[in-house]
């Protein structure tokens, strides 16, 4: 490990499938140590994880960081959004957490939207229209299907809240992550009493919302992590807000993130409220807003198809007239929670490589379709797309985004941007800086820019046409499994 110029901080990314920890020099942004450990996610109709596995994974990731983690002066945790964590009076999980990509609450999402004034009411009140990913719909599903679990719940948390509370002993959240619950009013930045009453959730069960730049707490005595008692703990935030901090985003810069889910977002000074439900009107982690559109199927869906075809994920060929809608987990954008994957245009001469490229096209089409709604009037629509996430290093992903967007694409060299954003948040506690300014000082967005190519309008139009024609099949009320 090289000698650090400034104090060390720890940034954590507790994602769907693993926890990653970085020890970062707050002065330079140099990553001096890192660690990673996996989680278990259930398969089948639901997507659930035991929150205690997240804690165990955090312990292992920090152990891999060695002595550097023990020297940290501050820590912050970024985590997967929307997950419903229910705790008993001892702070232990009542049941496994319902994760963001668990779509069983789609009926509850539709019912809540109808019962409380329709999509316009929800967009104006919370910034978003409820979808099956949102925490409020998961609570409604739990109340309907597992009332004993609801009765046994003495605290309701998001994934990053759970880990932060185990560090500090205090129930806290932040505006970025809480804005994805569906029970936080974005106009007033408070919990919404009407929505909470409607779903039967006592506000006393919810955590305190910590403001940007505020200390969430300090590391308490009773823990088994390599932090000294009194180490500062930042508010933490949801994964997308953390990645935005990690990039040091300024308003209007578009981001396309390729991970288990795909997202497009940009920081905005304007509070978003899209009644179509395509754009979620999230808050960011430093006082602005983060309008965002998310797809459930991205790298995992394409990799699954590559595995079925026994192809390397880069073994693509031009598609011809083949269309794949890779909605293997249902879909959120477009809002088709019960859909499954669809293949159209198969011929005798279709190759496996063409089929794989069509899956890439289908995944990117969904994201680009929402991009214009995400960007506000101040955005530079010719600026390079910042391409991040696990898929951003893949040539096939890069070329597909370039071809279907017609825009230049920039690939930041920095990896683990969620953990870096959390580290910038922790560093901001020590220096008094805006965490996004810390990330800009670290130059985290530096990376090569791929020139724009002519947009493939024919492929975009073909996919849109197949999606429109297949709507009755994709909108079936019950999933076909």
Handedness of CA 455, 458, 461, 467 (dihedral sign): negative
**Which residues are CB-neighbours of 118 under 8 A, at least 6 positions away?**
none
CB atoms within 10 A of CB 5: 10
Q: Any idea which residues carry the catalytic annotation? A: 239
Which residues lie below 8 Å from residue 111, measured CB to CB, with a gap of 6+? 140
Q: Are 392 and 411 in contact (CB under 8 A)?
A: yes
Q: Which two tokens stand for residue 24?
A: 């970062």
With left for phi above 0 and alpha for psi between -120 and 50, is residue 316 left, alpha or beta? beta
Q: Which two tokens stand for residue 472?
A: 């009755």
| 346 contacts: CB under 8 Å, gap ≥ 6 | 322, 355
CA atoms within 13 A on the CB side of 362: 32
CA distance readout (Å), 400 to 15, 154, 341, 361, 363: 25, 47, 19, 7, 10
Cβ within 8 Å of residue 123, ≥6 positions away: 129, 273, 274, 275, 277, 281
- Asked if 168 and 320 touch (Cβ cutoff 8 Å), the reply is no
Report the C-alpha gap between 158 and 136 in whole angstroms.
Answer: 11
61 with 35: CB under 8 angstroms? yes
CA-nearest of 237, 216, 246 to 24 is 246
Q: The tokens 């008993």 sit on which residue?
A: 88
Beta bridge partners of 156: 86
d(CA 225, CA 245) in angstroms, rounded, equals: 25
Cis peptide before 334 (omega within 30 of 0): yes
- Per the CB < 8 A criterion, the answer to whether 7 and 73 are in contact is yes
């Amino acid at each position: 490990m090289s000698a650090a110029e400034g104090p060390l901080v720890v940034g954590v990314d507790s994602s769907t499938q693993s926890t990653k920890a970085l020890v970062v020099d707050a002065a330079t942004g140099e990553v001096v140590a890192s660690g990673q450990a996996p989680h278990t996610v259930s398969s089948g109709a639901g997507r659930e994880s035991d929150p205690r596995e997240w804690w165990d994974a955090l312990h292992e990731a920090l152990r891999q960081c060695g002595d550097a983690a023990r020297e940290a002066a501050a820590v912050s945790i970024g985590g997967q959004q929307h997950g419903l964590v229910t705790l008993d009076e001892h702070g232990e999980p009542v049941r496994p957490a319902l994760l963001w990509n668990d779509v069983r609450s789609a009926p509850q999402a539709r019912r809540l939207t109808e019962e409380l004034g329709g999509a316009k009411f929800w967009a104006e009140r919370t910034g978003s229209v409820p979808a099956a990913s949102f925490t409020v719909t998961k609570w409604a599903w739990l109340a309907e299907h597992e009332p004993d679990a609801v009765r046994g719940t003495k605290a309701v948390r998001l994934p990053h809240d759970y880990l932060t509370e185990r560090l500090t002993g205090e129930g806290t959240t932040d505006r970025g992550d809480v804005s994805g619950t569906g029970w936080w009013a974005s106009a007033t930045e408070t919990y919404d009493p009407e929505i909470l009453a409607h779903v039967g959730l006592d506000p006393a069960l919810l955590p305190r919302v910590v403001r940007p730049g505020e200390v969430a707490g300090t590391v308490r005595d009773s823990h088994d992590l390599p932090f000294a008692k009194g180490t500062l703990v930042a508010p933490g935030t949801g994964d997308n807000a953390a990645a935005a901090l990690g990039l040091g985003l300024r308003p209007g810069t578009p981001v396309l993130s390729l991970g288990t889910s795909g997202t497009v977002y940009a920081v905005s000074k304007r509070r978003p409220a899209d009644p179509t439900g395509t754009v979620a009107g999230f808050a960011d982690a430093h006082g602005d807003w983060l309008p965002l559109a998310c797809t459930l199927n991205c790298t995992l869906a394409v990799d699954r198809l590559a595995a079925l075809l026994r192809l390397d994920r880069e073994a693509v060929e031009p598609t011809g007239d083949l269309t794949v809608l890779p909605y293997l987990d249902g879909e959120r954008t477009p809002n088709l929670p019960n859909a499954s994957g669809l293949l159209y245009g198969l011929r005798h001469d279709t190759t496996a490589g063409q089929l794989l490229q069509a899956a890439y096209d289908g995944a990117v089409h969904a994201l680009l379709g929402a991009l214009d709604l995400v960007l506000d009037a101040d955005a530079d629509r010719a600026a390079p797309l910042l391409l991040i996430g696990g898929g951003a290093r893949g040539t096939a992903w890069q070329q597909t985004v370039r071809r279907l967007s017609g825009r230049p694409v920039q690939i930041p060299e920095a990896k683990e941007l969620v953990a870096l954003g959390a580290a910038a948040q922790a560093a901001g506690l020590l220096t008094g800086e805006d965490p996004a300014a810390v990330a800009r000082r670290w130059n985290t967005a530096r990376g090569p820019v791929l020139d724009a190519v002519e947009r493939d309008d024919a492929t975009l139009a073909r996919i849109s046409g197949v999606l429109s024609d297949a709507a009755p099949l994709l909108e079936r009320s019950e999933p076909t499994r």
